[in-house]
Chain A
Amino acid sequence: MEEVDVEPAVTNIPAARAGKHLGFAWGPGNILVYETFYKASGASGPGCSFIHEVRKDDDIYSPILRKLFNESHHIFVGLQTIREDLPSKNKKSQFVSISKNYRSVLRACMEELQQVAVSTKDAEVSTQYGNQVSILLAIELIWNLCEVLFIDAAPAGSLLLHLLDWVRLHKADVDEKAREVLQSESPAEHQDYWDVVVSYVLQGRLEEARQMLVKQANLQPAARNLYKLMDNLLSKMPFYNPGGTQTPTEFDVKWRHWHGEVERCLQDNSFASNQHLELICKILVGDEDTLLEHKELLSTWYHFLVTRLLFCHPTVKPTELHYYAQSCMTMFLELRSVPEPLDSILLAAFEFDIHQVIKDCSIALNNWWFVAHLTDLLDHCKLLQSHNLHFGSNLREFLLLEYASGLFTHHSLWQLAVDYFDHCPEFGRVYLELQIERVPLDTERKALKVLRICEQRQMSEQVRSICKIMAMQALRNNRLGSALSWSIRAKDAAFATLISEKFLQDYCAKGMFSDLDLIDNLGPAMLLSDRLTFLGKYREFHKLYGEKRYREAAKLLLSLMTAKIAPRSFWMTLLTDALPLLEQKEVIFSAEQTYELMFCLEELTSSLNITAPSTDRTMQEEDIELTKVELLRLALARNLAMAIVKEGTVES
């Protein structure tokens, strides 16, 4: 067994008290806990009759996060259909854009949560949503970094630009502050003015910093030259242009030149008269102590890292990142001894340790959504190939299965899970087979949807089971027609026989068929079971009889018995049906047919006599049976006579 990474969290069950015994059952994403009936301890009092459900992943029950699951499902399915044979260059840009799509869905969700958290009056709901927002923020932060480092895998030069974008996106409070300052009556005298300017510089937003500085310069005409010098320094700072013709070496030379210029200004004490400008100058030269003095403006160690890289090592290579990251984190967090989970996750990312990132995220976050989707995306980028788990199949599939199983426990989101299972080559199908049978079927519409899922995947076992459930339900409600339709759909011969039997019993009891619309339109489905065939043919006989096509009716009736389609128990009914045909004025049964009918009757009575002495029959019933047989014999004899005469007449 692997060692436990963190102590598991304790969940208190309301029913659990000392002396109580709890039982539990595992579900796919939850556990059922109940109090067991334990007598030996002699505990008195009635037991608790509640069953508690302990959920691992509570996020799927949030109405706003449902949008995240639905939208990301769509992106996920799109990602799975990216063709393998595309040139890798095209693929990379596609993967990056998919990653961005995931993030934009996250952002939209975050904004909505934020809105609700602010607008709601319920304090509890507000904190709950607030917490969710902070979790999503962290997720987005990690995802964005992974996108820059792993998926986009930017080379030296552009790497820093991406990291700058990353910091800017997640440290957006500068913009808010700047808006506040600019909207005030005189921005240059606002108390936060210099904070904004310095923050801009720290994020490398020099153009915006210059525009802010102009306002100050206008207020201080005496220091105009000083401001001009600073403006000059800021405007000349070179940024790498990945699309341009400049080589990294050329850029490096240019940047060193500029860096030297800034250093000279600092040594000359050019800005000594203005503490603010001197501070900016120190930042530009990348002075670590100065940066660390402004922790509250940087607020995080990774901001510090990016700023330090910007002004000291703009051409940092991906492989060198971990060194700077580690040192920045130690420098920045010196007071706080233990880094938070988020810190170690980001550090692991900077160290390019993908598996550590995924592992730490799985532990720290309360939902599977993030790790499942990120891992899937990284797997498509072929970044996870070497890793195989010693259980299940591989990391991607394991996480997807966990996520999808969680979805499947949801009363409504289960449909999404199907596509996730589809894209787990090893165990997906087994999971789906086990789960799909357990979807509660309240309406036929839902049953049809579940059936469609099974039929598309050739899961014939499940199709049969669902149809059977529906047929049983219909049968219980005495809807024979529906029940028959379902068993025909499942091609369930045994059940079709059972229902046909019911139809025939119904007929014997009432003397008429119910559900004619169905029986008349069986078509080829009739061949599913012998009994069903008989039912259909017998109804056909009635129809022919009704249409006064006696000869065809008689032929059909006889063939039902001679071809052994009719069950023996039904022969008496058939023979009774023959009575009116025998009694017609014209001869319908030929002599030969009459012989066959007689043979059938004899066979029936002899077999009855063998098993006959059943005591549960009343005398009266026995009498009726006997009279029937007598009547039949008489009618058959008369018909035979007439037929012989008629046939003889025709021949002569």
Chain B
Amino acid sequence: MESINAKYVSQKISKTRWRPLSPSSLQQPDIFVTGSWDNEDNKISFWSTGNNGMSGVEDGLEGDPQLLCEHKHDGDVLDLQFLDQDRIVTASSTGAVTLFRHQQNSQTLSVSQHWERAHCYPCDNAPCTGVVCSSPEIITVGEDGRINVFRADHDGVVRVIENADSSTIHAVTYLRTTEILTVNSIGQLKLWDFRQQSDSPSQILSLSGDRVPLHCVDRHPNQQHIVATGGQDGMLCVWDVRQGNTPFSLMEAHSAEMWEVHFHPTNPDHLFTCSEDGSLLHWETSSHSEMPSFLQGGRNNSMISRSAMAPAGGNQSLISPWLSGDSSKGRVETTHMLPSQTLSVNSLDVLGQCLVCGTDGEAVFVNRQMPI
């Protein structure tokens, strides 16, 4: 925990994201972007975590994150995603979706595409709550219950699903290239298949009974049927979208709204969640460290009799530790990643060994030596 670096930035941070690394790069990420909310003038800002190109400084002597450039943003930044290395898409509380380009040579930011009122009511703006992209496609969701599909190079909207949801859609993620998953404020997960022309979801999963609003969703990077969600009660739910309409496991996590959940992109035994209660948790499934990870699934399969639970087609070769039995009983270890603090942690991102998160206490925390 000593390696955590806090920087106060004079704006409440709603989103933080690492810039993706080029596939060939073996380095750790060093540039991240933040979005602010609830300010008179909101901004998106690019930050560098030190060693500008000077790799090899690994002894924790790196200084504070340094501001590279910033740009005014109309309305709260409600979501933020990198489209590619140089372009980011933001979702605004005004309902607008904006594509920014970051010029790395001159360290400037410019608007390269702007969709005004992408989400709106007949006579008012509707906040755009979530965005997900897979270049060049950009999918946005909003409080108006609409799903929009944009293309980075098109002025207009490619596809709209009006009234996709009767309540607010809080987050969206890709399940496969043509399938997305949305979560809403009445505790439902909806699968949408864009190959179909129909404007209704191909599947609805829901928490039984309590209709706890869900705020975030992330898909397992390798096993596309495994999905983690977090909601208003701070519970972490792991779902297997292939089977059952209810979550596979429920784990007590936070005492207030869980704002974001992320699987580690390359080491999905690790998962991270942050919450309104001011904590950031690192979840680790007990991977059997003496075994190479690619053997894990098979081994679990033979040790734990799950045949009753396996799908009828049952030719799966890997069973994720996230789905191996009830994870609440000692299979999952959690650690707090932040020193005690009281204000909400709104966003986190993790890439390689680096973690960044932003809070309502106007601080950005960076940890570049994650034990992963």
* A contact set with B: CB distance below 8 Å: 63-64, 66-67, 70-71, 73-74, 77-78, 411-412, 415-416, 419, 442-446, 448-449, 452, 456, 476-482, 485, 488, 514-518, 521-525
Cβ B38 vs Cβ A517 within 8 A: no
A411 and B41 alpha carbons, distance in the complex (Å)? 10
Cβ A485 vs Cβ B163 within 8 A: no
Task: Quote the shortest CB–CB distance from A449 to chain B (angstroms).
Answer: 7
Task: Quote the shortest CB–CB distance from B42 to chain A (angstroms).
Answer: 10
Residues of chain B lying within 8 A (CB to CB) of residue A516? 166
Partner pick for B124 among A64, A71, A477, A523, CB 8 A cutoff: A477
List the B residue with the shortest CB-CB distance to A477. Answer: B121
Known contacts: A66-B362, A73-B361, A419-B342. The answer to whether A518 contacts B186 by CB under 8 A is yes
Cβ A74 vs Cβ B166 within 8 A: no
Cβ A514 vs Cβ B362 within 8 A: no
A-B contact pairs, 25 of them (CB 8 A): A66-B10, A71-B8, A77-B342, A411-B38, A419-B342, A445-B14, A445-B37, A445-B76, A445-B78, A445-B127, A445-B129, A449-B344, A479-B145, A481-B145, A481-B167, A482-B143, A482-B167, A485-B167, A485-B185, A485-B186, A517-B166, A518-B166, A521-B206, A522-B211, A525-B211
Task: Quote the shortest CB–CB distance from B54 to chain A (angstroms).
Answer: 24
List the B residue with the shortest CB-CB distance to A439. Answer: B38
- Please tell me the size bucket of the interface on B: 35 or more
Q: Is B229 an interface residue (CB 8 A)?
A: no
Cβ A63 vs Cβ B129 within 8 A: no
Residues of chain A lying within 8 A (CB to CB) of residue B208? 523
Chain B 180-223 interface mask (CB, 8 Å, partner A; 1/0): 00001111101000000000000010101111000000000000
Q: Is B58 an interface residue (CB 8 A)?
A: no
Known contacts: A442-B93, A517-B204. The answer to whether A412 contacts B126 by CB under 8 A is no
Cβ B10 vs Cβ A517 within 8 A: no
Cβ B165 vs Cβ A70 within 8 A: no
Cβ A74 vs Cβ B93 within 8 A: no
List the B residue with the shortest CB-CB distance to A419. Answer: B342
Cβ A521 vs Cβ B211 within 8 A: yes
Cβ B210 vs Cβ A523 within 8 A: yes
Residues of chain A lying within 8 A (CB to CB) of residue B129? 443-445
Residues of chain B lying within 8 A (CB to CB) of residue A522? 211
List the B residue with the shortest CB-CB distance to A488. Answer: B211
Cβ A70 vs Cβ B166 within 8 A: no
Partner pick for B185 among A443, A444, A449, CB 8 A cutoff: A444
Partner pick for A478 among B11, B121, B257, CB 8 A cutoff: B121
A77 and B76 alpha carbons, distance in the complex (Å)? 27
Known contacts: A443-B127, A444-B185. The answer to whether A518 contacts B167 by CB under 8 A is yes
Cβ A443 vs Cβ B143 within 8 A: yes
* B contact set with A: CB distance below 8 Å: 8, 10-12, 14, 37-40, 75-76, 78, 93, 121-124, 126-127, 129, 143-145, 163, 165-168, 184-188, 190, 204, 206, 208-211, 232, 256-257, 276, 340-344, 360-363
Cβ A411 vs Cβ B211 within 8 A: no
Task: Quote the shortest CB–CB distance from A428 to chain B (angstroms).
Answer: 16
List the B residue with the shortest CB-CB distance to A445. Answer: B78
Residues of chain A lying within 8 A (CB to CB) of residue B362? 66-67, 70
Cβ B163 vs Cβ A514 within 8 A: yes
Residues of chain B lying within 8 A (CB to CB) of residue A416? 343, 361
Residues of chain A lying within 8 A (CB to CB) of residue B341? 74
Cβ B10 vs Cβ A67 within 8 A: yes
A77 and B361 alpha carbons, distance in the complex (Å)? 12
Cβ A482 vs Cβ B342 within 8 A: no
Residues of chain B lying within 8 A (CB to CB) of residue A515? 163, 166
Known contacts: A479-B144, A481-B166, A523-B209. The answer to whether A70 contacts B204 by CB under 8 A is no
Known contacts: A67-B10, A482-B167. The answer to whether A521 contacts B186 by CB under 8 A is yes
Residues of chain A lying within 8 A (CB to CB) of residue B166? 479-482, 514-518
A436 and B124 alpha carbons, distance in the complex (Å)? 24
List the A residue with the shortest CB-CB distance to B42. Answer: A412
List the B residue with the shortest CB-CB distance to A525. Answer: B211
Task: Quote the shortest CB–CB distance from A391 to chain B (angstroms).
Answer: 30
Cβ B186 vs Cβ A478 within 8 A: no
Cβ B168 vs Cβ A482 within 8 A: yes
A525 and B210 alpha carbons, distance in the complex (Å)? 8
Cβ B211 vs Cβ A523 within 8 A: yes
Task: Quote the shortest CB–CB distance from A181 to chain B (angstroms).
Answer: 31
Looking at A73, A419, A514, the one whose CB has the most chain B CB atoms below 10 A away is A73
Task: Quote the shortest CB–CB distance from B228 to chain A (angstroms).
Answer: 20
Residues of chain A lying within 8 A (CB to CB) of residue B167? 479, 481-482, 485, 517-518
Residues of chain B lying within 8 A (CB to CB) of residue A448? 232, 257, 276
Residues of chain B lying within 8 A (CB to CB) of residue A456? 256
A477 and B167 alpha carbons, distance in the complex (Å)? 12
Residues of chain A lying within 8 A (CB to CB) of residue B76? 442-443, 445-446
